Homo-oligomer: A and B are copies of this chain.
Amino acid sequence: MKRLTLKFGGTSVGSIEKIEKVAKIIKKRHDEGNEIIVIVSAMAGVTNDLVNKSKSISKNFDPSEHDVLVSAGEQISCSLLSGAIIKLGVKARSWMGWQLPIVTDNNHTASRIIKIKTDEIIKYISDGGVAVIPGFQGISSEYRITTLGRGGSDLSAVAIAKFFKTDSCEIYTDVAGVFTTDPSIHKKAKKIDKISYEEMLEMASLGAKVMQPIAVQDSMLNDIPINVKSTFIKNSGTQITSESEINNKKQVTGIAYSKNDAKVTLVGVVDKPGVAADIFEPLGKNNINIDMVIQNTSSDGKKTDITFTIKRADLTKAMKLIKKNSKNLKYKKITHDKKVSKVSIIGAGMIANPGVTYKMFRSLAEKKINILAISTSEIKISVLVNENKTQKAVQSLHKTFGLD
C-alpha cells in the first residue's frame, strides 16, 4: 500500500464530463489499495472569470477580498469532484484550506504555505477514504483566506506530498509530459521519460506549460519526485527527479526557444564598477523584464559592450529609458534588433561532456545560422539568432543531439 498525492489541473476538471473521468482515475488508484490525497485546481476558465469580475469593480481590488473571491473556484471543483467520487461508491470528502488547515503567511494573493495539519486526513485515508483538497488556498494567522498566486495548485501538491510524506506526487495535466522541444515547431519532438529538477527549470516555457517553476523548485528543495501525466491519454508521462536518479547518457535533454524577443547592445560602455547596475536599475523599476545579459571582458580594460534581451513589446520603452539616462551612462552608441529568438540546449549530461558546446555551434553553422550572442550556464547553452531562423535552429539541434 502506498500513499499518493494526485493533483489535477484546471483543464483536467474543465467540465462535468472531465470531472467524472478524473473520479474514475481516482477510483482506479484507490481500488489498487493506495491511500489517496487529491489536490484539485479550479475548473478551467473559472478563476479568470472571477478575477475579471473583481477588475471590473476596481483595478486595485482589495487583496484579502480577492482571495476570498478566487478561492471559491477551487471550492466548487473540489466539492463537485468529491461528489463524483462518492457517486462511484468510494468514500470521499473535501477539506477547504481553512478547514484542514493549510496555514500560510499573510501575504495575500501570493502566500506561501507554512504548515499543514495532517492528523484528521491521515485517519480518514487510512480508513479507506479519499481526501479531496483544493489547491491554491490557505488560511493566514489572521484567520483570513489566502491564495498562493497563479498556478499555486502545483505548490499545494508539493506541500501536501511533503507534509503527508506521500510516496509519490503525480501531476495530472492536459499534456502527455515534458517534450524534447515544442511539437508545434518540430514534429520529431519526443516525450522525455525522466528529467532533473534543474533541467526542468532551465526548460523555461517548455517546462512551465507542464508545471509551475516555483513548484519545481520547491520539489527540488524537498527532494520530492514528481510524475507528470496526462489525464486523457494513457502513457507513462515524465518523471521529474534529482540528477542522481537519472541514468541518462544523453548530453542534451531538450531544446527550448523563446518568442517575441528583442536585443539591445550598448557599444563602448565605459567599464567601471556599477555600470551594469546603472543600465538595468531604471529598466527594472519600470517593470521591464531582462532575460539574457552578455558582457564581454573589455579588451583594453576601459571600454566594453553590453548586450541584453527583453520582450519586443518593451523595446521602445527601454530605448527611451536608456537614452534619458545617458547623462549617467557613458557609451559610444546603442543598437537594437527587434526580431531575435533565444534557442537553448538543456541537459544535465553536458556537465560531463565538454564537446557539447562546439557541436551546438557547428550544427548551427552548417545550417548557415548566424549566432548573434552566446550565454551559458552549467546545464544550458543559449544562443541568440534571427527570429526567422528559430525553427531551423531547433530542428537542427534536435537532430544533432540525437533527440529525433
Residues of A within 8 A of B (CB): 16, 19-20, 50, 53-54, 56-58, 61-62, 64-66, 68-69, 71-72, 75-76, 78-80, 82-84, 86-87, 93-94, 96, 98-99, 143-145
* 10 A-B residue pairs with CB within 8 Å: A19-B57, A20-B57, A50-B76, A54-B79, A57-B80, A61-B87, A65-B86, A66-B83, A69-B79, A99-B143
The answer for the CA separation of A51 and B143 in the assembled complex, in Å, is 29
B68 pairs with A78, CB closer than 8 A: yes
Chain B: minimal CB distance from A16 (Å) = 5
> How many copies of this chain does one complex carry?
2
The answer for the CA separation of A53 and B18 in the assembled complex, in Å, is 12
The answer for the CA separation of A98 and B98 in the assembled complex, in Å, is 9
Chain B residues near A86 (CB, 8 Å)?
A: 58, 62, 65
Of residues A16, A65, A71, which shows the largest number of chain B Cβ atoms within 10 Å of its Cβ? A65
The answer for the CA separation of A197 and B37 in the assembled complex, in Å, is 50
In chain B, what residue has the closest Cβ to A43?
B53
Partner of A54, one of B61, B80, B99: B80
Partner of A62, one of B19, B62, B82, B96: B82
The answer for the CA separation of A99 and B94 in the assembled complex, in Å, is 17
Chain B: minimal CB distance from A5 (Å) = 21
A69 pairs with B64, CB closer than 8 A: no
The answer for the CA separation of A54 and B79 in the assembled complex, in Å, is 9
The answer for the CA separation of A96 and B65 in the assembled complex, in Å, is 11
Chain B: minimal CB distance from A33 (Å) = 24
A53 pairs with B80, CB closer than 8 A: yes
A69 pairs with B61, CB closer than 8 A: no
